[in-house]
Structure 1
Amino acid sequence: MAIPDEEFLLKTTSACAGCPSSLILRYVTKAAGADTVLVIPACCTSVIQGVYPTTAMNIPVYNVAFASAAAVASGMSEAFRAEGRKTNVICYAGDGGTIDIGIQALSGALERGTDFLYICYDNEAYSNTGMQRSGATPLGAMTTTTPGGKKDQKKDLDAIVAAHNPVYQATACAAYPQDLYNKVEKALSIPGPKFMHVLAPCPPGWRFPSEKTIEMGKLAVKSGLWVLYERENGKLSITGASKAAMKKRIPVEDYLSVQGRFRKITAAETAEVQKTVEDTIARLQREVDGIC
C-alpha cells in the first residue's frame, strides 16, 4: 500500500534529534487521515507537539492526565458514534502512561469494547522526565533510578492486552514504517477495540547517536527481541522482517552492546535476555502453528 504524501505532523516539533515518536506519529497520522482525533496523555509527545497555536499537529489533539487517556477516548468514541460519525479516535501514549500509570483505563476501555485504536510507543522508560525506570524497562538497562542496571524483566504488556481479546492487536517498530502504516490502516478499518505496541528506540535515553535510531530498531527486530506480528480475532501472523528472524537471528549482544544503557549488563543477564528471546520465539511459533 502506497504511503500518501499529505502530512499531519508538521516540521515544527520540539522533539530531540532522531526522535522515534515523531517518526511513528508521522506514519500513524498518514494512515489515519484528516478525520482523526488524537488523545495524548503526559508523555514525550505532549511536549514535542509544541505550544498552541503553533503546534506541529495538523489534526485535533486532546492532552489529558497521565492515567486517563483510554477513559477519555472511550467517552469520545461513544459520543462520535452516537452522532453517526466515523471519526478515528486514537490514543497515542508512551510506555509509562500505558504499562504503568494508564493500564487500568486501558483495561477498562478494552473490556467495554470501545471502538478506538490505542497505540503505545515504547521507549522503555519515563523518557520525558529524565529516563526513570518504567515497567517497560528491560533487564540490565541503566536508567536514572536503576544506575546499576535494572534487575527485573520487562512487563509483558502484550500478554495483558491479549487476555482482553481485542479485535485487532499488533506490534510494530519505528524502523519499519511501511509495516507500521499498513497495520494502522488495517486496525482503523475494523470496528471495536484495537491495540498496537510500537518500539521507539530513544537516542538520549538509550545512549546511542541520534542518527542510529533506524539501525537500532532493525537490530531489535533482527535479534528477535522485538517481534513484528498482528493478531486478528485471536489468530496470530508474523509480519515483515520478523519472518526471517523467526528462523535465524543475530545474537542479542549485537543489539545490547551498541547502547550505553547496557554497559553494566552482566554475562548472566545477557544470557537470560537471550533465553527470553528464544522462549518467546518458540511460544509465538506454537501459536502460529495452532498447537498452544
Structure 2
Amino acid sequence: MSCDEKTCEFFEPGHRACGGCGPALAARLITRATGENTIIVASTGCMEVFSTPYPETAWKTPWIHSLFQNAAAVASGVEASIKRQGRDEKVVVIAGDGATFDIGILCISGAFERGHDITYICYDNEAYMNTGIQRSGATPYDASTTTSPAGKYSTGNQRPKKDLPAILAAHGSPYVATTSIATPKDLMDKVTRAINTEGPCYIQVHTPCCTGWGFDGAKTMEIGKMALDCGLWANFEMVDGEIVKSRKVKRVPVEDYLKSQKRFRHLFKPQPNEAEIAKIQAIADRNAEKYGIDIKPKK
C-alpha cells in the first residue's frame, strides 16, 4: 500500500454503530496499527453486528466471523495454517468482553497455553451490549445492568471486575497490555508492539458504550479520559508477567465519573450512597497502588 499504514484506513465508515461508539473507534485505531498484512478473527458481538450486516462489510482486511465462544480457537487454526504454508500474515482476534471474559475463556486459555503466535484484543465495554446490556465478568462493581439491576434491595453488580490481564500473564504471555480509546497513540503503539512480539499477546481496550452506560455519544472520549483520571481504569504494560510501565495520572475522586453515567445514577438518588461510593473509591485506590499510576508530588 502506498500510504503510511498508520494513517491508512482499514475499517471503513458507513457501518451501523451508534453515534459515539467506543468499539467502532477502537476498530479503526487497531486496524491502523495492524495494517494490511493482517487476518482478523472476530467473535459474535456488537462489533460483528454493526460492521458486517450481510452483504456489507466495513473491513478492508481478511475478516473471519467465529462463534461467540471460539474466536481464539479459530485464530489458532489460522495461525497454524499460515505458518505451515510459510506465510507471514499477522493473526489478530478482536472480541468483546462477554466473548473474552466469560464465554470464550476456555478457548483463549488453550490458545495461550499452546503458545500460538496471535494477538488477542478485547474491546471492553463492560457488559453484553449487543444482546441487551447484561452483566459480564468485566462489569464494574455497582453498575446497573439488565441482569444486575439496581433497586430497593440491590445497588447493582456485586462482583468485582475479573482481572483478565493477570490471568493471561499467568499463562506465560510475553506481552499483556491495557489501553483506552481516550489515548489513541498509546493504543496503536501497544497493538504494534503486540503483533511484533512472538507468541500469544493480549490487549484490553477500554471502550465506553454510550447506549449501555447511559451518556451522550458526543462525550465518549471524555468519559474514557475520566475513567483514567479517577483510577478506575489504568493503562499499563506487562512483559513476561511483570508490570514494566503504566500511565501516570494526577487522580481525582470517582464521583464525577460515576455521576456521568446512567448505570451508576442510582448511587446518587435520592441522596449519595456514601458507603457504596467509598467502596468504588477503594477499588480505584487499589488500582493506583497495584499499577503505580499516581503522579508523585514534587519534593
Fold in common (TM above 0.5): yes
Structure 1 position 49, deviation (Å): 1.0
Equivalent position of 2:127 in the other structure: 125
Secondary structure of residue in 2 paired with 1:47: helix
**Superposed counterparts of 1:1-292, under 5 Å:** 4-148=6-150, 149-239=156-246, 242-243=247-248, 245=249, 248-265=250-267, 266-285=273-292
Secondary structure of residue in 2 paired with 1:6: coil
Structure 2 unaligned regions, length at least 5: 151-155, 268-272, 294-299
In the alignment, the residues of structure 2 paired with residue 50 and residue 72 of structure 1 have an alpha-carbon distance, to the nearest angstrom, of: 18
Secondary structure of residue in 1 paired with 2:39: strand
In the alignment, the residues of structure 2 paired with residue 3 and residue 232 of structure 1 have an alpha-carbon distance, to the nearest angstrom, of: 26
* 1:12–1:50 contact (8 Å) kept in structure 2: no
Structure 1 unaligned regions, length at least 5: 287-292
Deviations 1:213-263 (A, max 9, x none): 000000001111111111122332334xx31x2xx3010112111111001
The residue type equivalent to 2:73 in the other structure is A
Structure 1 position 3, deviation (Å): 7.1
The residue type equivalent to 2:106 in the other structure is Q
The residue type equivalent to 1:30 in the other structure is R
Q: How many residues align?
A: 280
Under a length normalisation based on structure 1, what TM-score does the superposition of the two structures give? 0.92
How much is the aligned-residue C-alpha RMSD, in angstroms? 1.5
* 1:120–1:197 contact (8 Å) kept in structure 2: yes
Secondary structure of residue in 2 paired with 1:264: helix
The residue type equivalent to 1:201 in the other structure is P
Secondary structure of residue in 2 paired with 1:119: strand
* 1:92–1:119 contact (8 Å) kept in structure 2: yes
- Identity level (%): 45
Structure 1 position 29, deviation (Å): 0.6
Under a length normalisation based on structure 2, what TM-score does the superposition of the two structures give? 0.90
Equivalent position of 2:153 in the other structure: none
